[in-house]
C-alpha cells in the first residue's frame, strides 16, 4: 500500500479511504468488523464516518459499530486515522430544538462528546463539517474548534461539500484568528461529475487541503451498470437509474464500458484508478457493503492507466477545466 500525507497534516494515510455509511443500514455489525479488519490488513487506515450514519431512527449506529470494533483491541484505534462529521439533526424525533443541528458552537460541542461516546475513543483525528452553515458565523465555528483541539478531543478540522469560495473564506478567517484552518475537503468528484475541478479542487490545493472524493462510481453509474443490466436482466437502481434516464447518458456510459472492455478492464476499478491520477486527490472514499466489494476496490491500486487511455476517458467525460481558463473566449 502506498501512503501519502493528508493535506498539511503529519498524518499518513493510504490511497483509499474506507467509507462506513453502509455499516448498520446494509451491512451487519459482524460483517462490518470483517470489512474493517480486511481494510486495515490491506493498509487502508483512514476510516470515514458521520454522526448521522445509520440513518433515520438509527442515527449514530455506524459510529457505535466502529466503536465496538475498536473495543476488540489489538491497537486498532491507534492504527486508524478516524474522521467523523457534524451537522445533522441528531434528535430522536427529527424535530430539533434550536442549536441541536448545524454548526453552532453549542451543537459542535455536544456532537463531539456524543460521537466520542459512540466511537469509544478519546479523540477524533479529522472532525469534518458535513455541509456549510449559512446562519453561523465562521468565527464562532473556529472558536468551538480551537477549544476542542486544546482539550484534545479533536486533532484537525475538515470540510465536506464546501464550494471553493467557502473553503477560502473559512481558511482566511482561521488565518486571521491564528487558527490552523481546514486540512481536508470531501467533495463529489468522479469521471462523470467533474465540476469540482473548476473551483473546489483549486481552492483546496491553494490552501493545502487533502481532497477526498465521495461517490467515486457516481452511485454505480461508473461500475459497469449496463453490463450488469444485460447479464442480470435488471435495470440500474437508485442514482444510476436516474442518470441513465437523462438524455445522452446511456450512450456515454456505453462508450465508457465498450472502451474498457476492449482493454480488458473493469469499469469500477478504472473509475477509482482515474481519481488516483488527479492532482490534489488524497484518496477516494469507497463504501463497500461486503468484503468482496472492498477487494475489488483494492485492485484499483494496482492499475496504471496509460496516457492513451486517460485521453480516451477525457473524450468520453470531458472535464469543465479550472477557472478562469475554462471561461476563456
Residues catalogued as catalytic: 53
3-class secondary structure, 297: helix
Encode burial over 234-246: b for 16+ CB neighbours within 10 A, e otherwise.
eebeeebeebbee
Decide: 297 and 16 in contact? Cβ < 8 Å: yes
C-alpha separations of 48 from 19, 67, 147, 280, 290 in Å: 5, 13, 23, 19, 16
Decide: 226 and 253 in contact? Cβ < 8 Å: yes
User: Across the beta sheet with 182-188, what order do the strands follow?
Assistant: 210-214, 182-188, 154-160, 124-129, 81-86, 46-48, 17-19, 285-286
- Indicate the DSSP class of residue 246: S
C-alpha separations of 83 from 13, 74, 245 in Å: 12, 20, 35
Cα-only R_g, the chain: 20
Cell reading at 242:
436516474
Which of 63, 117, 56 lies closest to 85, judged by CA? 63
Task: Please list the alpha-helical segments (H only) found in 104-224.
Answer: 105-119, 138-151, 164-177, 200-206
- How far, in whole angstroms, is CA 65 from its chain's centroid? 19
DSSP-derived secondary structure for 48-115: E--TTTT-GGGTTHHHHHHHHHHTT-TTHHHH-EEEEEE-S---TTS-PPTTSSTT-HHHHHHHHHHH
Q: Are strands 124-129 and 81-86 parallel, antiparallel or unpaired?
A: parallel
Amino acid at each position: 500500500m502506498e501512503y501519502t500525507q493528508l493535506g498539511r497534516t503529519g498524518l499518513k494515510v493510504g490511497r483509499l479511504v474506507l467509507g462506513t455509511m453502509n455499516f448498520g443500514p446494509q451491512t451487519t455489525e459482524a460483517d462490518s468488523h470483517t470489512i474493517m479488519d480486511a481494510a486495515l490488513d490491506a493498509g487502508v487506515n483512514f476510516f470515514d464516518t458521520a454522526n448521522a450514519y445509520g440513518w433515520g431512527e438509527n442515527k449514530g449506529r455506524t459510529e457505535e459499530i466502529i466503536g465496538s470494533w475498536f473495543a476488540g483491541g489489538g491497537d486498532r484505534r491507534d492504527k486508524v486515522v478516524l474522521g467523523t462529521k457534524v451537522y445533522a439533526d441528531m434528535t430522536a424525533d427529527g424535530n430539533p430544538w434550536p442549536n441541536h443541528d448545524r454548526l453552532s458552537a453549542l451543537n459542535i460541542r455536544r456532537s463531539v462528546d456524543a460521537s466520542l461516546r459512540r466511537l469509544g475513543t478519546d479523540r477524533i483525528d479529522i472532525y469534518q463539517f458535513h455541509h456549510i452553515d449559512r446562519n453561523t458565523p465562521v468565527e464562532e465555528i473556529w472558536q468551538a474548534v480551537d477549544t476542542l483541539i486544546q482539550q484534545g478531543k479533536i486533532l484537525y478540522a475538515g470540510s465536506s461539500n464546501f464550494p471553493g469560495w467557502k473553503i477560502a473564506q473559512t481558511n482566511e478567517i482561521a488565518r486571521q484568528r491564528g487558527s490552523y484552518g481546514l486540512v481536508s475537503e470531501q467533495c463529489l468528484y468522479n469521471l462523470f461529475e467533474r465540476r469540482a475541478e473548476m473551483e473546489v479542487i483549486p481552492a483546496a490545493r491553494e490552501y493545502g487541503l487533502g481532497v477526498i472524493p465521495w461517490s467515486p462510481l457516481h452511485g454505480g453509474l461508473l461500475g459497469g451498470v449496463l453490463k450488469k443490466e444485460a447479464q442480470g436482466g435488471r435495470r440500474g437502481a437508485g442514482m444510476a437509474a436516474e442518470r441513465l434516464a437523462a438524455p445522452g447518458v446511456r450512450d456515454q456510459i456505453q462508450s465508457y464500458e465498450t472502451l474498457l472492455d476492449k482493454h480488458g478492464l473493469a469499469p469500477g476499478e478504472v473509475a477509482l484508478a482515474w481519481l488516483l491520477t488527479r492532482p490534489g486527490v488524497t484518496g477516494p472514499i469507497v463504501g463497500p457493503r461486503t468484503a468482496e466489494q472492498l477487494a475489488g476496490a483494492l485492485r484499483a491500486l494496482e492499475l496504471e492507466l496509460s496516457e492513451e487511455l486517460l485521453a480516451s476517458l477525457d473524450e468520453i467525460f470531458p472535464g469543465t477545466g479550472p477557472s478562469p481558463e475554462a471561461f476563456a473566449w
